[in-house]
Chains A and B, each alone.
Chain A
């Protein structure tokens, strides 16, 4: 098991290194960067939904807090973005930790509605606090600076995105096989059984929630500094559903599934030419069809098929 994880990480690194030389133009490179940032959030949400089995359709809220947090710290208080990103992530961690205990006592549709509500509250605040957030029109975010050197070149951004993504994949794969990961997967399968064998259910759920919130925040911050502009749309219900769709489609509890889900859902809108209505139709169909015919998601289903043949 340990060996295959090592191989997977090596293969990922190889793909990430080769990719920029294979991609034909800057347009594709731009999409690759966006996919990497989306994947960071999806991997985080997968820890909560896939590992621990706690559904959230409010995670775009954390993503937006990360984006706005670091953009506001950088523009209004003049913090360097490299400091603003971890500061926003820390804020998300504290928020998530405070919310987690009461929220994660809920199950099923109650938990879904509560997380949906949290996301909507972030959205409402972003729209209404015009003085700080720029309101519905959004606000600009300054570019990332590393050692006094502003990142504007796409290739530099790609390096940042690839390194961050690889580190997050490493983190997630290690977590899967760690005692903490086993505890999380255990409480996914049977919460009461996990409690009986001594798993501190509340503690592990809280950890998963905080981790997913922090990764969403980092993803949001990086996206903000990369795109240079953010709007309350980031915290919308549609965006939360998009994140959840990445996890569900790629495969619950599969790290590479989350990456694949992020890649597919980031590329699909490009094919549709930005027609918003068709995007909703497609996301809705994907969610329904995946749950009906591929409830495990793409990667775990494929892994199972290949495993059987051998």
Chain B
């Protein structure tokens, strides 16, 4: 029983990280219909920059702030210099561009910041707390808290702000949105910046638990996508539920079956989800226009 509680709690913690990664996918997808394959690299980038600065005696707060700022800048640049010039390219081309961006970011990080695994110290100490007979790191609570906060913020953004509604309008029909005076390009750029921000915050919050290395973004991105798809692409609540489900399943498999194959769990899951319920748990059904 203690084992189970431990697995569930650690699953919820990693699940919260996936939920944060999934939120970033959701945001860009909502605004542009593009799946950003570099989303996982945003999580990696902020943590790597922050960890490197810390190693050079920069104070904790500044290191994290700079890590986040750099990542947001990269997100905006990705849109400005790669997505926007591609113009009306089809979805496959845009996918290939973001895959290129992902490899590119990984390469730059490898060359500039090194290939070694880096650790960020936790926000508030690492004395484990005891919950239901299981040990929980304080950082795990931070991850869960930050995830909850960001989910609420994103939901509020889409529901209550004009910019958020404009973003949904751009996603629904870019031409019509432009016609009623919404600056579509600026909105799209904002969506890339915001999703980079989500990824960056997720990255520095999760790094004390997951550690970070230049190629960790691939798995984080993959699992974030699984979470987003499980929840139904475009649904914020779905992204969170999806993330937690993926995290818990993974922890249970790692605990009871084989830790070597835990990474195969979300991959197997995604293939099943895509085939059996392509709209996820909370997604809306859509029909393809010909």
Contact = CB atoms under 8 A, between A and B. Distances in A.
Contacts of A116: 222
A102 B275 contact: yes
Nearest to B85: A292
Contacts of B290: 192
Interface string B265-284: 00110110011001000000
Interface string B99-141: 1111111111011000100000000000000000000000000
B82 interface: yes
Contacts of A276: 110, 115
**What does DSSP make chain A's interface, helix, strand, loop or mixed?**
helix
Contacts of B96: 55, 244, 248, 287, 291
Interface residues of A, number: 43
A300 to B, nearest CB: 14
Interface string A266-310: 000000000111111111111110011001000000000000000
A238 B260 CA distance: 21
Nearest to B35: A109
Interface in A112-159: 112-114, 116-118, 120-121, 124, 128
B93 interface: yes
A275 B110 CA distance: 10
Interface in A238-284: 238, 241, 244, 248, 275-284
A98 to B, nearest CB: 12
A110 B229 CA distance: 9
A244 B100 CA distance: 11
Contacts of B160: none
Contact of A284 (B89, B102, B271): B102
A237 interface: yes
A57 interface: yes
Nearest to A120: B267
Contacts of B106: 280, 284
Interface string A74-108: 00000000000000000000000000001101101
Interface residues of B, number: 42
Contacts of A292: 82, 85-86, 97
Interface string A37-67: 0000000000000000101010000000000
28 contacts: A53-B92, A55-B92, A102-B271, A108-B95, A109-B91, A110-B274, A110-B278, A112-B37, A112-B95, A113-B222, A113-B229, A114-B271, A118-B271, A120-B263, A124-B263, A124-B264, A192-B290, A237-B218, A275-B111, A277-B110, A278-B111, A280-B103, A281-B108, A284-B103, A284-B104, A287-B100, A288-B101, A288-B104
Interface of B: 35, 37, 82, 85-86, 89, 91-97, 99-108, 110-111, 115, 218, 222, 225, 229, 260-261, 263-264, 267-268, 270-271, 274-275, 278, 290
